[in-house]
Amino acid sequence: MSAFLQILLILVAVSISCSLLGPFLVLKKTAMMVDAISHTILLGIVLAFFLVKDLNSPLLIFGAACMGLITVYLIQWLRKTGLVDEDAAIGIVFPLLFSVAILLISLKASNVHLDVDTVLLGKVEIAPLDFLMIGGRDFGAKSIYTSLFNVLLNLLCIGILFKEWKIYSFDPDLAKAMNLPYFWLELLFILLTSVTSVISFSSVGSILVICLMVGPAASAYILSKDLRKMILFSLLYGIFAAGVGTTLAFWLDLSIAGTCAMVTGILFLLTFLWAPEEGYLAIQRRNSRQRRVFSELNVLFHLNNHKNSEEYEIEAHVETMNRHLRLEKSKYDSILASLKRKEKIEIREEVVFVTEKGEEFLQEKAQEFGIPAMK
């Protein structure tokens, strides 16, 4: 298997494992917790290494998972004191524990392959060099198998606990009211997040782990609020970012992790702007249409209120009507032109009259808004 295919397979597997957890983090509004966990687990790895003196020991993952739990506990404890909010607590705990890890590496493990830059940025480019040998046969990069194991682990946990985690993510109070094991659900999720982070960042770095956990899920959240669809869209975004990012990085000789992160960000930006229902531009267009309809209704209601009155010709005169409506002259002229074009009004001798089509439109909107029957 070529180096390109091995690297691509690693990144796709990492993107799947991260994208599976991302929607739950976004729904719980704890996406920044991943940032803290993915950095502070370095301290767990360092402390575990000091105990076992072996960088290949599975106890390093256990130490990282424990540090993830400690990180979340410290953040929650600070938040519950009421003295700082969650964002500030993350900003305190994460730099503190991460800096302790860096200092320990500098002082006690400077001659050991525990590199801070690799932890942050990853070195997936050299992953094929760390191959798995069984019986003298090369089975490819070790990271392929650890990443695929991570995918299977996340799929298994989500498949078994999907309903419970769905309630836990959408409404923690409901989960407690239903007597669900909230503490154990949260504990398992934090452990899964920590394990995913430590398995993934050894290849791709913590920055890309954060990006792949949050970016695809945030994009999916704009497209759908249904959790199943969110997970599906998140997976598609993550796989696409990994595939396109890896291909571009090889083609342009760029950092693979950096290119994948950039593609993830671009995908989010495109979704944020052009999502058909909840995208920024769609919302702006919808709001603009609603403001337009409201302004047109304002004119029609004004005309209807003065219908059959003695002062109608004064109140409905093109030049004087806007004294009551108080619209900008250009906007007022545009609304009158739009209503006339839609045949909802007609103007005779500078006096505005509501047409039959305009009356029907008024009745329809009156019923929609629960307004008493029009005169």
Token pair belonging to 38: 């993915």
Q: How far apart are CA 294 and CA 368, in angstroms?
A: 13
For residue range 227-264, list pLDDT tens digits in order: 999 999 999 999 999 999 999 999 998 888 889 999 99
> How far separated are the first and last CA of the chain, in Å rounded?
79
Q: What is the pLDDT of residue 241?
A: 95
Whole-angstrom Cα distance, residue 8 to residue 18?
15
Q: Is the dihedral of CA 189, 195, 197, 199 positive or negative?
A: negative
Which amino acid makes up residue 140? G
User: Given this model, what pLDDT does residue 64 score?
Assistant: 82
158 pLDDT exceeds 90?
yes
**Better-predicted residue by pLDDT, 120 or 179:** 179
Given a cut of 60, whether residue 120 has pLDDT beyond it is no
Identify the pLDDT of residue 111: 58
Q: Report d(CA 34, CA 40) in Å as an integer.
A: 10
Q: How far apart are CA 12 and CA 247, in angstroms?
A: 12
The pLDDT value recorded for residue 362 is 86
The whole-model pTM stands at 0.82
Q: Which residue has the tokens 């975004």?
A: 237
Query: Comparing 131 with 93, which gets the higher pLDDT?
Result: 93
Q: Which domains does the chain have, with CATH numbers?
A: 3-275 (1.10.3470.10), 282-368 (1.10.10.10)
Distances (CA, A) of 6 to 2, 139, 141, 147, 200: 6, 11, 7, 12, 15
Closest CA to 255 of 144, 114, 105, 117: 117
Closest CA to 24 of 183, 149, 150, 172: 172
Question: What integer is the mean pLDDT of 154-174?
Answer: 90
Res 208 pLDDT > 70: yes
Quote the tokens at residue 125: 């480019």
Question: Which pLDDT score, from 0 to 100, does residue 203 have?
Answer: 74
The pLDDT assigned to 353 comes to 92
Per-residue model confidence (pLDDT) at position 233: 97
Q: Is 90 exceeded by the pLDDT of residue 266?
A: yes
* Matching residue, tokens 């739009």: 338
Long-range contacts of 243-250 (CB under 8 A, 24+ apart): 243/8, 243/11, 243/12, 245/11, 246/4, 246/7, 246/8, 246/11, 247/8, 250/4
- The pLDDT value recorded for residue 112 is 54
- pLDDT at residue 224 in the model: 93
Query: Residue 115: what pLDDT?
Result: 53
Which pLDDT tens digit goes with each residue over 303-354? 988 888 888 988 899 888 888 888 888 899 999 999 999 999 999 989 999 9
CA distances from residue 363 to 110, 309, 312 in whole angstroms, order as listed: 79, 20, 20
Question: In this predicted model, which residue has the larger pLDDT, 229 or 107?
Answer: 229
Could you give the CA distance from residue 60 to residue 56 in angstroms, rounded to a whole number? Answer: 8
